[in-house]
Structure formats: C-alpha cells, structure tokens
Structure 1
Amino acid sequence: MKLTIVLRTEKKSTHFPLTVDLAEDATVNDLKKAIHKQIKKFYPDRQRLTYTDKVLDDGKKQLSDYGIKNEEKILFKDLGPQVAWRTVFIFEYLGPLVIHPICYYGSRWIYGEEIEHSKMQTVTYYLVILHFLKRELETVFVHRFSNGTMPFRNIIKNSVHYHFLSGVLLAYAVYGPWNAAGTGGERDDWYINACVGVWIWAELSNLITHINLRNLRPSGTRVRKIPHGYGFNLISCPNYFFEIVAWTAVAALTQSIAAIIFLVFAIGQMYIWAVKKHKRYRSEFKDYPKNRKAMIPFVV
C-alpha cells in the first residue's frame, strides 16, 4: 500500500509531500515509524496524523480500520519537540518540595528575622510536603499514561502553576512572621485537627482513585476502559474532586489569600480537564453511565 503524507497547512516544506510504502495490514504505528525512517527528527510521538478529520490513534489499530486504502492522502502535523509526561510531572512537583523548605527554614534570609513557627505553620508545612511527595511517588510507581509525551513548551506553562502558585506564593504568605507563634497564625487545636482529618481522607481517597485508574490499563499499553469503584459511581474524575477537598482543607487551615488564589486556579484548571475527559468518556463508550457528573457530585 502506497500512501502520500502531506502537511495540514499550506506551509512549504522540503520534506513533504512524502510517499511511504507499507504492507496491506500496516498499523498506525507502522506508518509513523515509516515517516520517522525517512525524516529522522519526526519521531512517532512528535507526529499527529489525520484522515478525513479523524486522528489516527497510536497502537496496533490497522490503517484499514480507518478505511484507508492504497494511494490515499494522510495529513501530517508536527507537534514539536516532546517530553515524557512522567518527566513533566516530576519537574512540576519538585518545585514546591524545594521552595517550601527554603521559606520555612530560611526565615532569616527570606523575611529578615528568625521565626518561631505557629502550630498552623508547622502543620501546613508538613501537609504540603507530604502532598507533593505523594504526587512524586505516584508519578514514578502508580501512574500509567495514555499519552507518552507532551510538547516541551508546556513544561514551562504547567510548572508556573506549581512552582509559583503552590510554591513561592503559598510558602511566602503562610510561613511569614505575621503567622508566627503568638500572632494571627494561632488556631484552636480542634480546628487544626479537623482540617488535618479532612486532608487525610481526601489524600487517601485521591490515592485510591489513582490506583483504580492504574489497574484499568495493563502495563505497557494505552488501553482505555470505563472506570468504576470508589468515587467513580458519581463522577468521572473523583481524583480531581478529592484534590480540591484536600487543598480546601489547607486553605481553611491557613486562612490565607494565597491559598485561596491557588485553590481557585486549581479548580479552574481541573474543571477544564474534567469536562474534557468526561466528554471523551461519553463519546468513546456508548454504555457510559449517564448519571455521572464530570468533577463534583450532583453539580458539574
């Protein structure tokens, strides 16, 4: 089977149009490998191929499954330099793990004075560190990604959210002298314990949903299935819901404008992701439960 690969845009290129010869039972991956063989910089993860406005998904799906025949034209888009999702996640979460200890232990250099931390500050510090340590461990040992890579430029955009909002902004605001022992940072023990209890429940619930998602996808594959179990009976993305609850507990504990700002941005971003995933589930699986919401039970 002979196929012609052309650019999606009218931009001139020395590489396209490109002709590839494939077996009749060739898969999408076979086509991407054939393109890469002729143009070395376009490795498979950097390619997006479409036919009659349908994106050709990676995997073992044959080209004939899309109705592609001999001498057809396939549209090509360069996604740009790519970086592994796992690498992006590790880099994102590393920021707060570095920034929070600097602000907490380096008060003399950050605020110009030694600080006797209030119980609220100390508890918040450990909650934040434990949260991002959990995220790092999940990235390495739990998550199985449906997409192997993302555009390299996104690593900067994604990291701003964590390095600045939950890193610099939150750490500087919470660990300052205005929240030190004997000042506005004092909280009743029952209030601190209540916030910590909610946080623990939310974090453990978030971990359970991540493990359930992992178990849906056999190792080394990009299989997608309908998720069920804890949290999934009501919403498509319970991991986002539990994440919101955890950070709401932190915002309530600190009573910090910085924590609220981070929470608002986090909710907005997770809402976008949740709606996108919810719509994809409903379009991909005809028997997807109709009573599920995207992110918040009975609401949205």
Structure 2
Amino acid sequence: MNLITFPALTDAVIYTYGFYIFLSVFVFKLESSGTFNLPYSKFAKGQGVSPKVGMFIIYFLPILAYLYTWNSSDNPKLFYQWITLLAFVIHFGKRCLEVLFLHKFSGRIGMLGVFFITIAYSNIGLVTGSLHNHTPESLANQIPVWWTILGAVIFLIGQTGNLYHHILLTKLRSGNEKEYKIPNQGLFQKLVCPHYFFELVSWLGFAILSTYIDSFFILIIMTAYLSGRSNRTREWYLEKLPGFPSERKRILPGVY
C-alpha cells in the first residue's frame, strides 16, 4: 500500500527539504510582519501592470509547465497521471477563469509580484508534473482507491469553498466601485480569509492525490505563505475599516 511516496534520502534530497522548511519560515515572517508583502490586491503599491493581465500570467504559465512534463514523459498514461493532471489544471484553470470573469480589481499588480509568483507556481508545475508523469506503473498501482477518492473529495471541497467565497467578495462591489467593505457571509463571519483556508484544503487534496512527500512540502509552504498574508490582511482591515470584528480568526477556524 502506497499512501505517501518518499525518495531515497540522499544529501541533495535532505538539503532540498531543509530549504523547503527554511522557505516556509522565511515567507511567513516576511508576509505576517509586513516586512515585505507581495504587491497585489490591497498590498499593491499603485504601480505595475493590469491585475487581469498579471494574474492571468501567474495562473496560466504553471499549466503550461505541467503540460510540458506530460509531453516529456514516455511512460504510459494511467489513471494516476490523468487524475493528477486534471486536479492541477482545474486548480489553475479555475483561477484563470476567475481572473477573466469574476474578480473585481481595485489597483495594479507590481511586476515583482508577477515575477516571483509565476516562478513559484510554474516551479510547482514542473516539480509535481515531473514526479507524476515519471511514476512507474508498479508504484502507481499501489495507491489504494480509497486514498485517491479521499484526495479527490477534499480537493473538490477546497475548490468549491474557495470559489464560493470569491463570489461573496465580488458581490461586495457594484459596478466600478473600488472601496473595500467588510464581508459578513459564509465563513467570513468567522475568518478574515476563508478563501485562503479553502485554497489550503485544495492543496491538501492535491497532495493526497499526488502521494509524493514533495507535494506535502508544497502544502506546508503554501500554508506558511497564506497564514502570514492572512495575518497582515487582518491587521490591514483593523487599521483601515472601522468596526471590523477583531474576534475573527485569520485563516484556520477557531485556531489562528
């Protein structure tokens, strides 16, 4: 039975995973403290490119990166390869569609943000795609059906919850209105960033579908980044929006 796949612990692998842990702590401290927040959304500096263009690039290029690994492998495409491809494309394809047809943007996105986030997400596409598409048939066949079903269900819950709360945010603004308002529906009654919470639920589902420990490290990095950003977002709301409920947690119901 194969639930989580670990590589041989060579020096290179140990250094890589050590870097992942360092990166998680580093990005959490940068974002949560406000020392450096990636310049998009409410933390945009007023300069850069159209957020619709910038965000579409951010979410579309990782799909191309993943598809590159799909075409570079001669391994037979099993159900495992198809389900992981589908999950990755759904995750980033959904975000592309949201950028084009759902989100209402209030400012521009800094080129530094476009560059760093595109590199990070595209690297995720290359790393996970390479692992999935070069997985031997013997290893893929060891994954229990129930584990795959669990991953798919968690992934879809995350995607649905994330989309729902994005829709709630969009409904706060009418026409070309750019003013921030306090959201009070859905899990916004309990959390500052429930859309971040459900994004992490999606990454957990993807990691389970993947089975590779690398995907769980990606989940850890994303948790650190979004937790830090949710903390800074909470502070921003408390500073800028009078009457914002201070009892709301940041990203994890009842905990943080």
For normalisation by structure 1, the TM-score amounts to: 0.66
> Alpha-carbon deviations, 1:258-286, whole Å to 9, x = none?
21232222122212221111111222333
Q: Which residue of 1 aligns with 2:253?
A: 297
Q: Say whether 1:213 aligns with 2:169.
A: yes
With over 3 angstroms needed to count, the CA separation of the structure-2 counterparts of 1:80 and 1:235, relative to structure 1, is closer
Q: 2:57 aligns with which of 85, 91, 98?
A: 91
Considering fraction of residues, name the structure with more helix: 2
* Match in the other structure for 2:80: 120
CA gap of 1:223–1:237, structure 2 versus 1, over 3 A, is same
Q: Which residue of 2 aligns with 1:282?
A: 238
Where has structure 1 moved over 6 Å in runs of 4 or more? Answer: none
Residue type of the alignment partner of 1:203: Q
| 2:142 is equivalent to residue 186 of structure 1 | yes
Shift of the alpha carbon at 1:93? 0.9
Q: How far 1:219 sits from its partner (Å)?
A: 2.2
The alpha-carbon deviation at position 288 of structure 1 amounts to: 1.9
| Counterpart contact for 1:117–1:180, Cα < 8 Å | no
Higher relative contact order (CA 8 A, sep 6+): 2
Letter in 1 for 2:147: Y
What's the CA shift for 1:185? 5.6
Kindly report which structure 2 residues correspond to 1:68-147, keeping only aligned pairs within 5 A, or say none. Answer: 82-107=48-73, 114-146=74-106
Q: 1:82 to 1:290 in 2, by over 3 A?
A: closer
CA distance in 2, matches of 1:296, 1:252: 20
List alignment gaps of at least 5 residues for structure 1: 1-78, 108-113
Q: Is the 8 A contact 2:46 2:108 kept in 1?
A: no
Q: How far apart, CA to CA, are the structure 2 residues paired with 1:264 and 1:97? A: 21
Once the two structures are TM-superposed, the CA of residue 94 in structure 1 deviates from its matched residue by 1.2
Corresponding residue for residue 20 of structure 2: none
Which of residues 131, 140, 150 in structure 1 aligns to 2:109? 150
Report the alpha carbon displacement of residue 81 of structure 1 after superposing the two structures with TM.
5.7
- CA distance in 2: counterparts of 1:180 and 1:119, whole angstroms: 12
Find the aligned partners of 1:151 and 1:190 in 2 and give their Cα distance.
Answer: 43
Residue 168 of structure 1 pairs with residue 134 of structure 2: no
CA distance in 2, matches of 1:272, 1:219: 31
Deviation at 1:224, TM superposition (A): 1.1
CA contact (8 A) 2:46 2:109 kept: no
Contact 1:145 1:222 in 2 (8 A): yes
Aligned-pair distance for 1:133? 0.8
Judge conservation of contact 2:47–2:108 (CA < 8 Å) in 1.
no
Count, aligned residues: 212
Q: Give the TM-score of the pair, scaled to structure 2.
A: 0.77
Distance 1:171 1:200, change over 3 A: same
Q: Tell me: CA distance 1:198–1:81, structure 2 relative to 1, closer, same or farther (3 Å).
A: closer
- How far is 1:240 from its partner? 0.4
2:230 equivalent to 1:270 = no
Q: 1:131 and 1:284 mapped to 2: Cα distance?
A: 32
Offset of residue 251 of structure 1: 0.8
Q: Match of 1:83, SS? A: coil
Contact 2:84 2:206 survives alignment (8 Å): yes
- Cα distance in 2 for residues equivalent to 1:97 and 1:268: 23
- Give the letter aligned to residue 111 of structure 2: F
